[in-house]
Chain A
């Protein structure tokens, strides 16, 4: 167990190193010269050169990257050109809102996906299964921004049940979380269904039925307990999916999280913020994967040998 963990941890560190290289590489794609942007148009050649030296941009690229890596390790993600603030502070101040949204989304996604997947697996290849799976495809195929705008239109504007956007109370979180939940539940109901179908075939389920355990108990206790573990691990692996959804949903609902921060940064070409959010999201994904592996290896010891 310890060896397995150490190996996975080492791999994660390597992946994060690669991620930091690629985000750093993005900087070289920017057509504008950052020194010129800071110095302004009327700067003399000497000023430009001194700013360049100050920023360390006269050094060879590998050394520049090592410096960047060193500052990353100290939690320094650079400064935003536009907002004149530390990127790390901006992200930290907005992280709680995003995490709230993600947890609420996972709640709604399970609230929709679990019953749909369970019912479909029990009624396999019958009409209700077919209908549920078509619905799940509709959920998968629906663009999140359209779902969000439509929910906003009907539940906030026409019916007036929820606020039109903003942040603060429980009522504010329902629609954005529901938007994420509905679209991601499409995938999950399918996965829950196939996981349940696999478990319901197992011998111990037949034994339980033969013992005379009631069918609801067989499905909801005996089968679900085993079928749900891969699903929980999937949530860890799918952190990236939530991160993407968060960018879209936060911009639709004006939710003040890091997705909105990234969206505002796109509009102003504020590259340090986009890089910072990408890095934070990548860390989230790597940690999510690691947690998923740990959960799976605790439950299923065979994995550890891989």
Chain B
């Protein structure tokens, strides 16, 4: 009964995917079996994950930040760009936290709390967009290199070697300083230097799966390479992709913060956590809250994704628990 329910649910959600890709219905059944078995696995994973208090803490942090970012206009008292006349002292210095401005004000007399909440949007957009692109490219190249092997696979893997030899931040700096940085350019630059790790992990995983007997069996039955990749290999990679996607967001968020801190990330007046610190670093000895609060925000957000990613890895593969 449970199984039937899940099949019905999966049909509703996923029926369009195989049709587009293959155009013949026998695929639908196979894919559905895979998806429903993945869902049963997901339930077990979720059960183990729920017991991991540290990971749950990370999850809570993420939920809070994401909610705040989505509901920014409703959870903040002011406009992020409004410069308050009473937001500065008579000498023009920013105000420390007080009743009117809960986390103080910045150098232009804007409310820091409001800017932090709107800054979460920037981090979130870049974190998700850049990381999604990086994981997509990395998975695609990794899976192709791992399954096809030969000179294509070799070429792809030598290219990842080459990318590994580049200091990612310096390459990003060079790109970001040449191209005029905007939200999407920054996301693209980060994606461009961050797909390599995923590609390597997926490559090794694909290699080990491709060697197994059920792949040989599928090939003997005359399955096309695309079908083998999509139906037989990809479902086994999903746990790894999930873990890397989660951990990757924390890398991306830190990367964006660093680029913004160096002045080549998202440009003002768009609020971003790294950018707030960049703007105020010359005043931070007299106004340390301008570094401390955005700093804590970056730390907590990145920490949240790291804890959840680690928790997911343990939950998906309990035998590896505590080894990594």
Name A's B-contacting residues (CB within 8 A): 11, 14-16, 18-19, 22-23, 26, 29-31, 124-125, 129-130, 134, 137-138, 140-146, 149-150, 153, 157, 190, 194, 197-198, 240, 243-244, 247-248, 251-252, 262-263, 266-267, 269, 271, 274-275, 277-278, 281-282, 285-286, 289
Contacts and interface: CB of A to CB of B under 8 A. Distances in A.
A278 B162 contact: no
Nearest to A281: B167
Contacts of B174: 23, 26, 271, 274-275, 278
Contact of A26 (B167, B178, B263, B323): B178
B90 interface: no
Interface stretch (B144-152, B238-246, B301-309): B301-309
Contacts, number: 146
Nearest to B247: A140
A140 B306 contact: yes
Interface stretch (B134-142, B212-220, B291-299): B291-299
A134 B294 CA distance: 21
Given A197-B322, A240-B167, A262-B173, A30 B162 contact: no
19 contacts: A15-B165, A26-B174, A137-B307, A140-B302, A143-B257, A145-B261, A146-B277, A149-B277, A149-B291, A150-B291, A153-B285, A157-B285, A194-B324, A247-B262, A248-B258, A274-B170, A277-B170, A278-B170, A278-B171
Interface string B261-298: 11110000000001001000100110010011011001
A304 to B, nearest CB: 19
Given A15-B162, A190-B324, A194-B324, A141 B264 contact: no
B177 interface: yes
Contacts of B250: 141
Given A26-B174, A251-B262, A19 B322 contact: no
Given A140-B306, A244-B169, A267 B263 contact: yes
Given A243-B167, A266-B263, A267-B263, A153 B288 contact: yes
Interface string B159-196: 10110111111110111011100000000000000000
B173 A274 contact: yes
A29 B178 contact: yes
B108 interface: no
Contacts of B129: none
Contacts of B277: 145-146, 149
B188 to A, nearest CB: 13
A243 B306 contact: no
A278 B262 CA distance: 16
Nearest to A16: B165
Contacts of B322: 124-125, 129, 197
Contacts of A19: 162, 165-166
A256 B257 CA distance: 23
Give the secondary structure class of A's interface: helix
B261 A143 contact: yes
Contacts of A190: 324
Contacts of B167: 240, 243-244, 278, 281-282, 285
Given A278-B167, A285-B167, A266 B178 contact: no
Contact of B254 (A26, A137, A141, A274): A141
A249 to B, nearest CB: 11
Contacts of A271: 174, 177-178
B106 interface: no
B111 interface: no
B189 to A, nearest CB: 11
A278 B166 contact: yes
B54 A130 contact: yes
Shortest 7 CB-CB contacts between residues of A and residues of B: A146-B295, A244-B169, A141-B302, A141-B303, A18-B162, A243-B167, A281-B167
A149 B162 contact: no
Nearest to A121: B322
A134 B195 CA distance: 26
